[in-house]
Structure 1
Amino acid sequence: MKPVLILLAKAAIAAPAHADMQRIADTVASALPQWQVAWAFGEQGAPTLRNQLDAYALAPQIRVLPLSLPAEPASVNAIARSVQRWAKGREGPAPIVDVAPPLSGALPALAGAIAAAAGMPAVRTLAVSALPNDAAQVPEHRARVLVCSGGPCMNAGAAEVWQHLRARQEREKLRHGPAGMMSCKTSCLGPCALGPVLQVWPEGTYYGGITLDALDQIIDQHVIDGDPVHAWSYAPGRKKQQLRKP
């Protein structure tokens, strides 16, 4: 089996963006026949990095190439932590996984690509005019889910929790209808030692130590049915609480 190169974009849920990623992967594969090329999203959308690590777990090597600019060191660290958590949860050996140098490391080729794009015909001409005063519909969702993206929660796996939440929300059309939900990432929600932390409103229930299986249970039982999952919840108060195993 060939080594696998995973092109990691930030976020997208629309079908045209998926098709665009596949075209990019096909083009890269034609230039690098020694690699099998796949793609994933790092913040929102499917397939996620974890999905692709599972799909190519039998490959001798997996290299992750972040497509975003600028190349933030925190992004590379987040990828490393995601891979470590994935490998820890596997049974049996895991492939060698590394992170490719950022795109900014290939400045001559990158500058050439940007120059070529700048010289192509425009895809859309923007009219400079006053914005229309359109009406807007207030959503009728039952729940809103907040996912903490503070440092301790990100270190504990909040990025994977967010990816899984948004992928399921899109796949099952959970943003539609009165039983649905809205979701968003937030800054620190408070109980840093209990990360990853999320909060479900209107009840305001705090959940800590969230795994992907726990998230599925919270969506099924609390978000959809309105019944908080006490095995993963923590009651507000002045007394310090430690992360527990349900």
Structure 2
Amino acid sequence: MIYRSHVLVCGGTGCTSSKSFDIIDEMNKLIRENNIDNEVKVLHTGCFGLCEKGPILVIYPEGATYSRVTVEDVKEIVEEHLVKGRVVKRLLLGDKDAEDVSRALDDVGFFKHQVRIALRNCG
């Protein structure tokens, strides 16, 4: 099945301890309630490398990266971003006043100047 949006939720140790699995459960519940479960796929991923800003949630195809997401934030993300197509700026990682949403984590200041070397077991 082809989905219009993919929601990637960090499942690294830091994000898991900050209730990323509860976020996934709540997101799936609200996606079903809004009848968009055939359009949006929620996926549990490995660590994004931003543990201090977790839980991290990335929505594609926009590449919107949300940080410090709580279970209480999920309703706003589903209703605004996934249903209405409007990014929730207050939860965005990085510059909240930016016009464009970062398309890749490589555009975030923390990663911008890093060079990935060891990739064998990455992602």
- In the alignment, residue 76 of structure 2 is paired with which amino acid? Q
- In the alignment, residue 21 of structure 2 is paired with which amino acid? A
Where relative contact order (Cα < 8 A, 6+ residues apart) is larger, the structure is: 2
Q: In the alignment, is the contact (CA less than 8 A) between 2:7 and 2:40 conserved in 1?
A: yes
> After superposition, where does 1:10-25 map in structure 2 within 5 Å?
none
> After superposition, where does 1:81-230 map in structure 2 within 5 Å?
138-139=1-2, 141-176=3-38, 180-230=39-89
Q: In the alignment, is the contact (CA less than 8 A) between 1:149 and 1:187 conserved in 2?
A: yes
Bigger CA radius of gyration: 1
- In the alignment, residue 203 of structure 1 is paired with which amino acid? E
**Whole-Å separation in 1 of the counterparts to 2:109 and 2:70:** 25
How far did 1:170 drift? 2.8
Extract structure 1 runs of 4+ deviating beyond 3 A: none
> After superposition, where does 1:28-107 map in structure 2 within 5 Å?
none
**Whole-Å separation in 1 of the counterparts to 2:5 and 2:63:** 10
Q: In the alignment, is the contact (CA less than 8 A) between 1:142 and 1:223 conserved in 2?
A: no
- With normalisation by structure 1, the TM-score equals 0.38
CA RMSD of aligned residues (A): 1.7
SS in 2 for 1:193: helix
Q: In the alignment, is the contact (CA less than 8 A) between 1:150 and 1:188 conserved in 2?
A: yes
Percentage of matched positions with identical amino acids: 23
**Whole-Å separation in 2 of the counterparts to 1:202 and 1:143:** 6
SS in 1 for 2:109: coil
Could you list the runs of 5+ residues in structure 2 that have no partner in the other structure?
95-106, 112-123
- With normalisation by structure 2, the TM-score equals 0.72
**Whole-Å separation in 1 of the counterparts to 2:22 and 2:37:** 20
TM-superposition CA deviations, 1:56-80 (whole Å, max 9, x none): xxxxxxxxxxxxxxxxxxxxxxxxx
How far did 1:169 drift? 2.2
